[in-house]
Chain A
């Protein structure tokens, strides 16, 4: 009755509608997941993926539409009901109790007791870990002693102990290293073999291409397409997600390099970076590649004076005097034409309970003082400036007085960039500027970086996402275990040689690489 193609559907969402007040979050969204398949759910931030998954896991109730699970129409009234049916959700942030052991975590909330004494579920736990490929993991280890990759295994294991048939993973790789991501994929493959269906939500389209069998894309709360991954290209998917043709993901013009704007020498921190040297010229976009934990963020943070470094010096602008990086602090850095965009906009980059305008002018407030010495702010001028950036960066909002909290990830990042544009420093340190934001906003940020380079800014661009480094940068260096390779023009690198340098810690000459 419900079968559409070859293998039977375990789960079907049909014409799901959900509104919050006047906002239509989902409109007639349909999704069909087959037994033992990895189904990618794709869409920009704010497209409705999270709402859809909350409806499915029972955290929200749909206004209309039906959920058919194992051939039966079901109502999922709470997350507990969802779990009982066999639909488990694994959130981006892990939800383990750090001090409890592996076994205690995996059976949390499912403990059986007799006469008030807990009954061991060791066998069940062991079975689950075996399915996941970790049969030897000691059950009495507190989970905070495990690395984040293994913690995720425990989280998934918990779903297996609940006998889940459908596991929803929301951005599972966002905090994982390359190696942990690889082992997560192995884990997912094992789940698939065990006949469990996985709904996989991710911004990393390359990952999706690698792991998923089929996909469904949603945009503005409507399903806009689904199909087999094998017969689809990344470009097709991006075009589906952003709803417009994407001729050029990375708009890029030729940059004329000017004078050297920043020279860093012998930068060493505790424990990273290790003796890093580089220089950047005006109009140059310099990319730093490497694995998570290679010391890329630490390098930028030390230069900007956010983290204390041990030794190292730098020259800024035309000034030939050398500044000790050890004595740097953000205030001094800003005065010296350095600016920094944090990789973590929620925890560090933005004061989210303040307004767009207040965030935009926070580093330049002294330029908005009415009468020197009084500290009185010229609010009209402030509004005018932030309104200008809202317009230029196309920040979707009602105006400069709206709280940053109310904005989507992409728009929040644009506010952080607006502050940078208002500051107008010569050297811009960008730490993962496109992390966790929608594809449309990414393209806008790439365009902005290109324009800034044309205007003669020196830009240092740290990213874990190779395609964007290759798409945006003029020169690239690779960091590995705190050390930085020599900087080379982007056309002298290949993704393969970058990965080699990132994992081995040595630079491998192009000619030695077999393709």
Chain B
């Protein structure tokens, strides 16, 4: 009798801790924001600046949502940065086929879809190589990172692809209707919709459950009759598709397709996932957490600029936060 009471109290303590774990990234966000409130000039907490860093978080945030699935499944995708460049080039090249007057409504949709499909196919290829050739994801996607960067450069002819004005370009405008408090970048709404969709996919569907099982214990997943190879290919394909969405936002932010854009961005995106509670051992992570991680990184960049911290200090600060976030995570696991 007494032992069952003991265990019950032990578990209730744990669930309290679990709640803390879930809100860990949010607490981090509040702390980072709070620090900049104290040290940054008043322009930092203006509504416009909040919109600014949230818009800056869109590309990282959408990329991080796809990466979350890969990391929960126990893998990693290093090709994301190159795919963002490739997708932006694909978008720009399709838009360039029409003259300025003829772009209209449909062509940007076609261009965006093409970028998403192109990136998804690259992801699918990575997944297939991991599943069927049994090469570790780190190596496959490291290779894919170089290959897709090369393809992007080749397609674009080594230079940025300029396009005429079209509605896609307004996706990343910080305040489309100047002075209206409710007006935010359309890309931000895309991110919110994707957040809801991806959260449901991860937490409420069989696919999401299989992704968690794959990362938690692949042997168990196999034992339970889950087609591990196929599920893994879907995970990388999904990550590619989300990266494709991010690449359209990348195009939109500059209205050009730049094959040299987003170099090293995969590491920032992985960092966002890890700060958001994702474990590189697989089995752990959340879409919302990763998004919070991406926002934390965006606030850091934005805040550092406003405070006037030189770029090299920014690197040091961000690096420290990545290691600290994972360090805290380890301690948390140990205490459990």
Contacts and interface: CB of A to CB of B under 8 A. Distances in A.
A353 B209 contact: no
Nearest to B13: A21
Nearest to A331: B225
Interface string B190-224: 00000000001000111101101100110111111
Contact of A351 (B2, B14, B217, B227): B217
A351 B227 CA distance: 16
- Contact residue range for chain B? 35 or more
Contacts of A333: 225
A220 B3 contact: yes
Given A340-B223, A376-B204, A376-B205, A352 B10 contact: no
Contacts of A406: 11, 14
Interface stretch (A65-73, A170-178, A359-367, A454-462): A359-367
A126 interface: no
B222 A330 contact: yes
Contacts of A396: 4, 7
Interface string A212-223: 000000001100
B206 A375 contact: yes
Nearest to B223: A330
B137 to A, nearest CB: 19
A349 B223 contact: yes
A23 interface: yes
B303 to A, nearest CB: 35
A366 B206 contact: yes
A342 interface: yes
Contacts of A330: 222-225
Nearest to B219: A348
Interface in B215-249: 216-217, 219-227
A354 B224 contact: no
B98 interface: no
A223 B15 CA distance: 31
Interface string A364-386: 01101100001111010000000
B250 to A, nearest CB: 30
A334 to B, nearest CB: 4
A348 B218 CA distance: 8
Contacts of A369: 206
A362 B226 contact: yes
A78 interface: no
A17 to B, nearest CB: 14
Contacts of A24: 2, 6
A347 B9 CA distance: 29
Contacts of B284: 353
A342 B10 contact: no
B283 interface: yes
A350 B283 CA distance: 13
Interface in A112-168: none
B281 to A, nearest CB: 9
Contacts of B204: 376-377, 379
Nearest to B12: A398
Contacts of A23: 6-7, 9-10
Interface in A14-29: 20-24
Contacts of A354: 212-213, 216, 283
B8 interface: yes
Most buried by B among A221, A359, A375, A402: A375
A348 B216 CA distance: 10
Contacts of B223: 306, 330, 340, 342, 348-349, 363
A357 to B, nearest CB: 10
B216 A365 contact: no
A363 B13 CA distance: 31
Nearest to B222: A330
A22 B6 contact: yes
A20 B217 CA distance: 29
B219 A347 contact: yes
A341 to B, nearest CB: 9
A353 B281 CA distance: 11
A369 B283 CA distance: 22
Interface centre among A20, A359, A365, A369 (most CB of B within 10 A): A365
A368 B210 CA distance: 14
Nearest to B212: A354
A331 B283 contact: no
Contacts of B217: 347-348, 350-353
A351 B216 contact: yes
A333 B225 CA distance: 8
A377 B11 CA distance: 26
Nearest to A345: B220
A499 B181 CA distance: 83
Contacts of A103: none
Contacts of A22: 6, 9-10, 13
Contacts of A21: 9-10, 13
Contacts of A377: 204-206, 209
A377 B200 CA distance: 10
A342 B219 CA distance: 10
B221 A351 contact: yes
A12 interface: no
B134 to A, nearest CB: 14
B220 A348 contact: yes
A351 B222 contact: no
A59 to B, nearest CB: 14
B3 A358 contact: no
B219 A331 contact: no
A23 B6 CA distance: 5
A419 interface: yes
A120 to B, nearest CB: 39
A306 B222 contact: yes
Given A349-B220, A351-B217, A362-B209, A398 B283 contact: no
Most B CB atoms within 10 A — which of A348, A349, A353, A362?
A362
A398 B223 CA distance: 26
A404 to B, nearest CB: 9
Contacts of A348: 217, 219-220, 223
A330 to B, nearest CB: 5
Interface string A489-511: 00000000000000000000000
Interface string B283-305: 11000000000000000000000
Contacts of B13: 21-22
Nearest to B8: A398
B207 A375 contact: yes
Interface of A: 20-24, 220-221, 306, 330-331, 333-335, 340, 342, 347-354, 358-359, 362-363, 365-366, 368-369, 374-377, 379, 396-398, 402, 406, 419
10 nearest interchain CB pairs? A351-B216, A363-B224, A375-B205, A331-B225, A348-B219, A351-B217, A334-B225, A22-B9, A362-B224, A398-B11
7 contacts: A21-B9, A24-B6, A330-B222, A342-B219, A351-B283, A352-B216, A354-B213
Given A396-B7, A398-B15, 18 more contacts: A20-B10, A21-B13, A24-B2, A24-B6, A330-B223, A331-B225, A335-B225, A340-B223, A348-B220, A349-B223, A351-B212, A351-B213, A354-B212, A358-B213, A363-B224, A363-B225, A377-B204, A402-B11
